[in-house]
Amino acid sequence: MTDKKSTMKMTDHEMAGMPMPMHQTAPTPHQHQDHTMGDMDMGNGQMMHMGNLKQKFWVSLILTIPIILMSPMMGMRLPFQLTFPGSDWVVAVIGTVLFFYGGRPFFSGARGELVTKKPAMMTLITMGIGVAYIYSIYAVIANNLFHVTPVVTDFFWELATLIDIMLLGHWIEMNTVMNAGSAVDALSKLLPQVAHVQDAAGHVSDVRLDTLQTGQTVVVRAGEQIPADATILTGNSAVNESLVTGEAAAVKKTVGDAVIGGSVNGTGTFTATVTGTGDSGYLAQVMDLIQSAQEAKSASENLADRVAGYLFYAALFVGILAFIIWLNITSLAVALPVAVAVFVIACPHALGLAVPLVVARSTALAAQNGLLIRNRDAVEQVKTLKFALMDKTGTLTQGHFKVNHLLSLDSQYNDQQILQLMADLENGSSHPLATGILTAANGAHLTVTGASDPHQVTGMGQFGTIDGTTYGVVAVNYLEQHHLDYDHDQFKTLAAEGNSLSYLVSGDQVLGVVAQGDQIKPSAVTLVTYLKQHGITPVMLTGDNQETAQKVAQAVGIDQVQARLLPEDKERLVQKYQHQGKVLFIGDGVNDAPSLARADIGMAIGSGTDVAIEAADVILVASEPGDVIQFLSLARATNRKMTENLWWGAGYNLIAIPLAAGILAPIGFMLDPMVGAIVMSLSTVIVAINAMTLHLKKTA
């Protein structure tokens, strides 16, 4: 299989509950929240805590006040400014404290960038404030010790305000990242503080949520929040999963159904077996998705990094060139602020935020609406998507089969014996066809004991031994591959009614047949119509018979159908279509896993198998085809916001850098370093606001 997910596999396994090193403690969703949202990368791994950055800004702002009151702005003394003997030295001391205290995050970031030989934003900021500080100290010494004429203008006013603006920009950035994930952070707060645990004797006691363990039985009463991911043992209810799947309507839950921690129980009371706690629960997985989405690199972010690199060298070249030219034309006092303005205004601060902020917002919206995006590159692949290949059972259809016909094909067995043998073979299987057979056996009041040596042959059927005889429940593919005789006319008649057929075999004998019907999901037609309207060709790939597949395809509007496929056949067809364009594959079974991994975008139905979900890029929690539309719509909106932010983050430099270099000086316009800092920070604010305007429009 392809290695397209090699860069994300560790994150995926961790999300699925991979064992952690012995020295670590499995984090709770709240711990994930604190770590993810409490720190911020200040450049090449240099982390700064939110509280530290906030403190640095306020302290720096306070230190700026006396500097503003005692030093000239742009070389001009203002009426309210205070001057007294030694005031320049006071400003120099305060400015020095401010420079080293407020500038420390940028120095650390610059050091990290230079160590990795990738100078970018932090290096530019450090260069700008460093040059301004050194020159200002020189100005104070020259004016007060050597009494030079003309007086040398210092830049402490500009230096102080520049550091404040930079710190404020980073604070805004961090707040925006936190807000981008706030919708998902709120989910973790839905978990109750205690859970009602029932022991083997039926006694119920309350335990703290952090002590709850997988396998324990919990009691969930009417109106309570469900404490953890679980499977219902007894009772039934209607559960409100709106903050998890985005669906406002309560979902009916009964014995055997899965419930998600954080959702709200309705009027019924039920007991359930805990299946996920700590870092293995749904909410913790969502938090991991947010964190990994912010940390992982995508194609757009790599592009942003390259643009930032180009900007650094462009700014360095233009700044030095402008400095040399202005130094020769005028003086150092003029050349220096020009160079500083160029360095400051070209900082790729907003560019570095352009993609991550949109991704954080997009991931939060997706999770809030039942879309778990595990590979963020999947979002960018939507731009060039050409084909949507999809499984039939469980994807386009409900996957809830009902036995419509049960026939014995051997005189030694009656219909009930055929059903009994099939049920014993399928006992314990979660395949939709197996579930239909077991339901029929339960309805006939048969006692299902199971078979010895049960084993599955993927794409073929289920086998086992009963009373010393080996039997198998197989598809028609198995009959043909092993040249077993069966009634072709009977097969066509039953399949034409839309049934999926399973045969009971023993050796080379075909003993019986069961025909089961499925229902098409209401949103399947809407999905196919949407795909066609957006130039994406829908294709059905199924292991079912051609007649049934064709009937379902016709009902939902799919023209291209491939039936009676084995897992390797599906994967081969995915590769075939990839030669013509990008491919989305939607499936839910074990036999879909290779195709999900191979496709450019693998999308798993949330009710599918763990293997399929593990191989997918996107998971549909609600298991509805209509949610594919939500993902495609969100992906298009996300890509549009990314493009807009890349232009906001870098495009303004096309005008700003020449202005900072003094191209309009002949008409009397010079861009001050402080104004350059304001323009740069303004672009950051615009990028942040633009990312937060990303919304998901719900489709009908």
Q: What is the 3-state secondary structure (H, E, C) of 134-159?
A: HHHHHHHHHHHCCCCCCCCCCCHHHH
DSSP 463-510: EEEETTEEEEEE-HHHHHHTT----HHHHHHHHHTTEEEEEEEETTEE
Spatial separation of the C-alpha atoms in residues 421 and 450, rounded to whole Å = 9
User: What does the CA dihedral 105, 106, 107, 111 come to, rounded to 10 degrees?
Assistant: 110
Distances (CA, A) of 375 to 299, 359, 496, 682: 12, 11, 40, 31
The contacts of residue 76 (CB under 8 Å, 6+ apart) are none
Bridge partner residues of 240 (DSSP): 264
| DSSP strands (E only) in 24-82 | 39-41, 47-49
Known catalytic residue at 415: no
CA angle at residue 450 from 449 to 454, to 5 degrees? 165
Which burial class, exposed, middle or buried, applies to 352 when counting CB atoms under 10 A from its CB (0-12, 13-18, 19+)? Answer: buried
Backbone angles phi, psi at 658, to 5 degrees: -60, -40
CA angle at residue 277 from 273 to 280, to 5 degrees? 115
| Sign of the C-alpha dihedral computed for residues 625, 628, 633 and 634 taken in this order | positive
Contacts of residues 197-201 at CB distance under 8 Å and 24 or more positions apart, as own/partner, are 198/271
DSSP summary character for residue 18: P
- 246 in the Ramachandran plot: left (φ > 0), alpha (ψ -120 to 50) or beta? left
Amino acid at position 163, single letter: I
Peptide bond into 150 cis (omega under 30): yes
Q: Which two tokens stand for residue 673?
A: 């370093």
Spatial separation of the C-alpha atoms in residues 327 and 409, rounded to whole Å = 100
Spatial separation of the C-alpha atoms in residues 579 and 577, rounded to whole Å = 5
| Sign of the C-alpha dihedral computed for residues 268, 274, 278 and 279 taken in this order | negative
- Tell me the pairing of strands 461-466 and 469-474: antiparallel
Residue among 154, 164, 391, 424 flagged as catalytic = 391
Spatial separation of the C-alpha atoms in residues 302 and 160, rounded to whole Å = 33
- Tell me the pairing of strands 258-259 and 461-466: unpaired
DSSP summary character for residue 47: E
User: What does the CA dihedral 190, 233, 393, 614 come to, rounded to 10 degrees?
Assistant: 50
Residues annotated as catalytic are 391
